[in-house]
Amino acid sequence: PRVSDQEWAKREGMVAFAGYPLLIEEKVVGVMALFARKPLTPATLDAMASVSNIIALGIDHKRVEDERNRSLVVEQRARAESEAARQRLTSILDNLTDGFMLFDTRWRYIYINPQAGPFTAKPREELLGKNVWEEFPGLVDSISYQKYHEALHNQEQVAFEAYAPRLTRWFDVRAYPVPDGLAVYFRDITERKRSEDERRRLLEDAQRARAEAEAALQVRNLFLSAISHDLKTPLTTIKGTTQLLQQRASRAQAMDIPQLLKGLNLIESATRKMTVMIDEVLDLAQLESGQQLELNISQLDLVALVQQVAAVLQATTTQHRIQVEAAVPRLLIAGDAVRLDRVIGNLLSNAIKYSPRGGAITVTVSHEECEDKAGDFAVVEVTDQGLGIPAADLPHIFDQFRRAANVTGRILGTGIGLANCLQIVRQHGGTIAVTSLEGSGTTFLVPAAALRAGRYQTYYRAGLLCF
């Protein structure tokens, strides 16, 4: 019924009405209406006022209870959703192919996925809640330590590569600041690094091979240029001398015997020079194929051999004075006469070639005894006053096609003479030593086995070559 409905009140016999607002903290939450068929006394009105207050409190309690229940439902739903989200995230992180870890701001492990196990080398259950730097003190001051602190301090992502010696593995590491901590994601890149190293090695090998091929091509070109020049010189001598003798013969002139002999000597000398160069090239080819030189060993007089070679080469120069000093008149050795002739000739030719201002060239032949008394040995020493050899080139002076820096491009040469000489002497059981000071000349020391008279066969069979 409505208060304003007079017909209802009259029909029901209502003669009194009272209304009470239901107040909670001065806020109206409802109204209580009282209809009476008798007049309302003050006591009744006061009692009803108290009742209205109780009803207001009950309504408010119910409201609070409903709100609490609604909050609980919302909270439970939120918790369930949060747990579901956490489980989904955990499932995702657990199933990542790479490692993932979470740290709080005190560097304690909050989460470690299974793939991070090999990286930590400890069960994750033992690490959760532990300080990473206390568990792994060896990481302090490492790149990981520096980068993690940098990311957390600057609140910026960092990325770096780290090598784990204990695991012998490389990792690509990325650290991300998160609320109240740091997330670290890392991937094993060992195979990638190996591939990069292999690719780098192959590239370096290819570059080195290319450089070696280019150097070999340059050496070949220089060798061909030098050998062509060196062969052309004696050919020119032979051709010129032959034409001169032919002209004189065609004019039916009486042949001057000394002049004829001089021409023939020039031809013989030029032919000898060409033969030496050709033999050197043939020996080089044999050595390049992995074969040893075939030596024709016989007894020979080293003093006579040196004097003969010195006389032939002295005839080719007027600027140089070749002096042979022999401690004994005759010194027998076991060797290949042709090739030892070439060794001595090469050393003397170099002494002439690399002494462009001329000067004295001394060849010393000495006779000494071995310390073990196994036999005697001879030493041939060639000393010039020429350009000398730079100290940096001395260790490589016997390498094939290697020439000293102070003559390359200035004086032609093939770079095979000394290499060939060393091989010949080594196959005789000896070696060649060299001392030189750039600008002050060079000395080559060649030991050779010496044979006492009447003991050649014994020494040769026993192989007692003392160098």
Mean pLDDT of 84-94: 69
Pick among 3.90.1150.10, 3.90.110.10, 3.40.470.10, 1.10.287.130: CATH of 206-291: 1.10.287.130
CATH 3.40.50.460 applies to domain 96-188? no
Nearest to 13 by CA among 42, 41, 39, 37: 37
Domain ranges within the chain, ordered by starting residue? 6-89, 96-188, 206-291, 292-462
> Is there a contact between 171 and 188 (Cβ–Cβ < 8 Å)?
yes
Cβ–Cβ < 8 Å for 456, 299: yes
- Phi and psi at residue 62, to the nearest 5°: -65, -40
- Up-side HSE of residue 103: CA atoms within 13 Å toward CB? 19
DSSP character at residue 131: B
Distance CA 16, CA 340 (A): 154
Model pLDDT, residue 225: 58
State the Cα torsion 241-245-248-250 to the nearest 10°: -120
In this chain, the answer to whether the domains covering 96-188 and 206-291 adopt an identical fold is no
Q: What is the pLDDT of residues 301-353, one digit of tens each?
A: 999 999 999 998 888 889 999 999 998 888 888 888 888 988 998 899 889 98
| Lowest-confidence pick of 103-117, 332-346, 375-389 | 375-389
Rg (CA), the chain: 55
- Straight-line distance from the first to the last Cα atom of the chain, in angstroms, rounded to the nearest whole number: 142
Instruction: Report d(CA 296, CA 430) in Å as an integer.
Output: 16
Query: Is residue 35 a contact partner of residue 16, using CB atoms and an 8 Å limit?
Result: yes
Question: By C-alpha distance, which of 447, 452, 449 is closest to 463?
Answer: 449
Q: What is the β-pairing status of strands 169-178 and 158-164? A: antiparallel
Cα separation values, 330 from 87, 302, 371, 388, Å = 103, 7, 22, 31
Q: What six digits make up the tokens of 163?
A: 């090598």
Listed in sequence order, the residues at least 6 apart from 173 whose beta carbon sits closer than 8 Å to its beta carbon are 144, 147, 159, 160, 161, 162, 184, 185, 186
pLDDT, position 465 = 31
Angle at 19 between CA 14 and CA 20, to 5 degrees: 145
Instruction: Report the percent of the chain where pLDDT is more than 90.
Output: 16
> How does residue 467 score in pLDDT terms, banded at 50, 70 and 90?
very low
User: Three-state SS for 175?
Assistant: strand
CA-to-CA distance for 104 and 102, rounded, in angstroms?
A: 7
- Report the 10 Å Cβ neighbour count for 186: 22
* Average pLDDT, integer, range 227-245: 67
Is there a contact between 293 and 427 (Cβ–Cβ < 8 Å)?
yes
Place of tokens 């492990």: 109
Instruction: Please state, rounded to an integer, the average pLDDT across all residues of the chain.
Output: 80
Given a contact cutoff of 8 angstroms between Cβ atoms, the answer to whether 417 and 402 are in contact is no
Residue with tokens 């020079």: 273
pLDDT of residue 425: 85
Q: What does the pLDDT read at residue 464?
A: 29
In DSSP notation, 307-357 reads: HHHHHHHHTT-SSEEEEEEESSS--EEEEEHHHHHHHHHHHHHHHHHT-TT
pTM exceeds 0.85, yes or no: no
Which segment of 5-14, 134-143, 263-272 scores lowest on mean pLDDT?
263-272
So what's the pLDDT on residue 306?
A: 93
Q: Each residue of 396-423: pLDDT tens digit?
A: 888 877 777 777 766 766 677 788 888 8
**Domain 292-462, classified CATH 1.25.40.10, yes or no:** no
237: pLDDT strictly greater than 80? no
Return the pLDDT at 466: 30
AA letter at 466 = C
For residue 239, give both structure tokens.
């051709």
Percent of the chain with pLDDT strictly greater than 70: 81
More confident residue, 465 or 220: 220
